[in-house]
């Protein structure tokens, strides 16, 4: 694994940029229907990872060098646990935070640990004014990560999907934290 392209470290995780050698890691992650349940509802074919998913991740580093999708590894043994992302949005100084972990890495607090660290980085280092996140209303594990990371419920909204996943009828939820609230939380 090398420490090349390291992006961020937390107590237990190391985040780094993906490289073109990471097809297997991403394909393994997206091969679990439980991981994909609230995303596409099905495993992503390996060929799509190789031709679309990974190339888009790599291209985004060039477009926004401080943002993107980052592979997360346990510092203790180097094991790949999944990814975290900070993506640009249409709003200025506003980024979207996201995460996707292998099922064996659930239930350890990793998602909250990584998300908190990305939010801190967005405000403290990247000069952002707002961090947002969204997920399906029925994705309770993800909503719990948002709450534990200091994001607050903003709204529920409905989008049209040609091939909706079960639960789409309950809508999507948006959570967010702005700089002032983040700073107040740090002083508390
Ligand atoms: C969403 C997702 C990242 C949540 O993972 P998670 O492991 O439940 O979230 P956390 O990292 O915050 O872990 C919290 C759990 O770890 C437990 N935990 C164990 N050790 C812990 C520690 N040292 N610190 C904190 N929590 C700990 C908590 O008690 C909690 O358990 P619970 O779920 O039984 O209440 C994961 O389910 C996932 O990858 N899903 C598929 C992808 C997806 O849906 N992504 C979001 C789409 S927007």
pLDDT (tens, 9 = 90+) of the chain, 188 residues, equals 444 468 999 999 999 999 999 999 999 999 999 999 999 999 999 999 999 999 999 999 999 999 999 999 999 999 999 999 999 999 999 999 999 999 999 999 999 999 999 999 999 999 999 999 999 999 999 999 999 999 999 999 998 888 888 899 999 999 999 999 999 988 87
**What is the predicted pLDDT for the residue at 1?**
45
Buried b vs exposed e over 150-182: b needs ≥16 C-beta within 10 Å?
A: bbeeeeeeeeeeeeebeebeeebbbbbbebeeb
56 φ/ψ angles, rounded to the nearest 5 degrees? -70, -40
Q: Give residue 106 CA to ligand 1 midpoint distance, Å.
A: 5
**What is the predicted pLDDT for the residue at 6?**
86
Distance CA 50, CA 24 (A): 9
**What is the predicted pLDDT for the residue at 183?**
94
**What is the predicted pLDDT for the residue at 186?**
85
Q: Tell me which residue has tokens 């707002």.
A: 130
Q: Give residue 169 CA to ligand 1 midpoint distance, Å.
A: 24
Atom in ligand 1 nearest the alpha carbon of residue 105? 7
Atom in ligand 1 nearest the alpha carbon of residue 133? 48
Give the residue from 62, 123, 61 showing the smallest Cα distance to 93: 123
Distance CA 119, CA 125 (A): 10
Distance CA 145, CA 134 (A): 11
Mutation probe of ligand 1 site: the residue of 81, 85, 106 with most atoms within 8 A of C-beta: 106
Atom in ligand 1 nearest the alpha carbon of residue 114? 11
Q: Give residue 107 CA to ligand 1 midpoint distance, Å.
A: 5
**What is the predicted pLDDT for the residue at 163?**
85
Q: What is the residue with the minimal CA distance to atom 2 of ligand 1?
A: 142
pTM for the full model? 0.95
Q: Give residue 143 CA to ligand 1 midpoint distance, Å.
A: 10
**What is the predicted pLDDT for the residue at 3?**
45
Give the domain 6-187 fold: Aminopeptidase (3.40.630)
**What is the predicted pLDDT for the residue at 162?**
86
Distance CA 79, CA 57 (A): 20
**What is the predicted pLDDT for the residue at 161?**
86
Distance CA 110, CA 101 (A): 9
Q: Which residues line ligand 1 (CB under 6 A)?
A: 35, 38, 98-101, 106-112, 135, 139, 141-142, 145, 148
**What is the predicted pLDDT for the residue at 2?**
43
Q: Give residue 62 CA to ligand 1 midpoint distance, Å.
A: 31
Q: Give residue 105 CA to ligand 1 midpoint distance, Å.
A: 8
């Amino acid at each position: 694994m090398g420490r090349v392209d390291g992006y961020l470290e937390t107590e237990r995780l190391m985040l780094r940029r993906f490289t073109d050698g990471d097809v297997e890691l991403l394909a393994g992650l997206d091969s679990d229907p439980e991981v994909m349940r609230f995303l596409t509802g099905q495993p992503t074919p390996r060929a799509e990872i190789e031709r679309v998913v990974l190339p888009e991740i790599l291209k985004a580093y060039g477009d926004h060098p401080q943002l993107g999708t980052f592979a997360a590894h346990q510092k203790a043994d180097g094991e790949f646990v999944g990814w975290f992302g900070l993506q640009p949005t249409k709003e200025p100084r506003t980024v979207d935070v996201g995460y996707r972990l292998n099922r064996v890495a659930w239930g350890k607090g990793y998602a909250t640990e990584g998300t908190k660290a990305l939010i801190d980085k967005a405000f403290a280092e990247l000069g952002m004014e707002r961090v947002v996140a969204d997920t399906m209303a029925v994705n309770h594990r993800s909503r719990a990560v948002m709450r534990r990371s200091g994001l607050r419920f903003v709204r529920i909204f409905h989008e049209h999907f040609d091939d909706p996943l079960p639960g789409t009828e309950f809508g999507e939820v948006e959570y967010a934290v702005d700089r002032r609230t983040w700073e107040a939380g740090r002083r508390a």
